[in-house]
Each structure stands twice: as C-alpha cells, then as structure tokens.
Amino acid sequence: MELVINYGLYFIAIFCVLTPVLAFGIFAPVIAKVTVVGFVVNWVAQFFDLSKEGKIKENPLLNIFKQDTHSDDDSPMWIDNAKPDSEEHHIISAKTYLMVFGALIVGTIITVWVAGFDFGAWNMVIAMLVATAKASLVLLYFMHLKYDTNLNRVIFLSAFFFLVLLFAFSFGDIMSRILPTSSF
C-alpha cells in the first residue's frame, strides 16, 4: 500500500511540475501559432461566407474596413450581434447580504470564544466546523454559487474532490511512516 501511495504522490508532483513547464516553456510557441492560425482561418471563413450571401458588394476587403458599425450584419463574428444569455442573473437583496455578513461575524465571535477554552482534541474540530460553515456562506452568497448553473457547481466540486484526494494520499503516506497517536 505504501508503494501505491508514494507513486501516487510522485505522479501528482510530476504532473504539477511538468504541466506549467510543458505548457509555458516547450509548447508555448506552438500554442501561439495554432491560436493565430485558428483566428485567421476563422476570419477568412466568415469573410467568404458573407461574400457568398451577397452582403458584401464590390471590393469586399475595402467595404469591411469602411464599416463603422456591424449592427446590420447577421454574422456572429461581431460582438454587437451576440445573442444575450438565455439565463437570467439572480439579484440578491441587500438584506440577504447583511444577514450573511452578520452570520460571518457571529461565526468569527464563536471561533474566538471557543479558542479561549480547552476542549482537548475537539478544539481543532470545532474551529474547522465553524470555518467550514463560514466558507460555505461565502461560496453560496458572495460568490453566487447558490444561484449559478450546474456546470460551475460541478467544476467547483471536482476541484474540491481532487483536493480531498491529495489530502488522502498525503494522509496515507504520513500514517504509513509514523506511529499514529490518539490525540491531535
């Protein structure tokens, strides 16, 4: 089991080190060239699509540069014609923000108050429970995850899952090397 945990940690460490090195060091020129070529190909394709539909007369290249606005153009290439989001943005009232702020203040007071007592091993558990409740309020209301799409929830939860996985591998490695004790 120790070999699996160690190699898992090595894999995570190598992945975390090599990803930026490969992406920004070795492959950066390739990524930049592919991006520029993709942009040019997309622009040329949309340009010829407009000329086929008869929207550009005479010298197409000069007419595009003469245009001041693109609002009469149906092409999705122009920002003016971008279709609005189908989802409505939820507006949170000031009262809700004040209530959440009050709950965060109460959580801070509880954390400070509990720190004054000696609960033994439970000190850290209580502090982490209060911190988790406060972080949940911040994520739900101030970062608007409560009213956001499911895609953002999945992205957040997958990042949280990989964080838990990293902690689990680290915890397994630590527990295989030292003798565990019953207190914190």
How does DSSP assign 48-62, residue by residue? Answer: HHHHHTT-S-SSHHH
Distant-in-sequence, close-in-space partners of 82: CB < 8 Å, separation ≥ 6:
76
Q: How far apart are CA 152 and CA 83, in angstroms?
A: 21
pLDDT of residue 18: 72
pLDDT of residue 138: 92
pLDDT of residue 100: 94
pLDDT of residue 59: 52
Contact status, residue 183 vs residue 120, Cβ threshold 8 Å = yes
- In the predicted structure, residue 83 carries a pLDDT above the cut 80: no
Banded model confidence at residue 101, pLDDT cuts 50, 70, 90? very high
Average pLDDT over residues 25-45: 76
Count of Cβ atoms closer than 10 Å to residue 161 Cβ = 10
- In the predicted structure, residue 180 carries a pLDDT above the cut 70: no
Q: How far apart are CA 5 and CA 10, in angstroms?
A: 9
Structure-model confidence comparison of residues 135 and 183, the more confident one: 135
CA dihedral 21, 23, 28, 33 (to 10 degrees): 160
Banded model confidence at residue 7, pLDDT cuts 50, 70, 90? confident
Q: How far apart are CA 160 and CA 154, in angstroms?
A: 10
- In the predicted structure, residue 95 carries a pLDDT above the cut 90: yes
Structure-model confidence comparison of residues 143 and 130, the more confident one: 130
Count of Cβ atoms closer than 10 Å to residue 130 Cβ = 18
Contact status, residue 145 vs residue 155, Cβ threshold 8 Å = no
Contact status, residue 142 vs residue 101, Cβ threshold 8 Å = no
pTM above 0.75, yes or no: no
Structure-model confidence comparison of residues 184 and 33, the more confident one: 33
Distant-in-sequence, close-in-space partners of 17: CB < 8 Å, separation ≥ 6:
none
Distant-in-sequence, close-in-space partners of 170: CB < 8 Å, separation ≥ 6:
9
Banded model confidence at residue 170, pLDDT cuts 50, 70, 90? confident
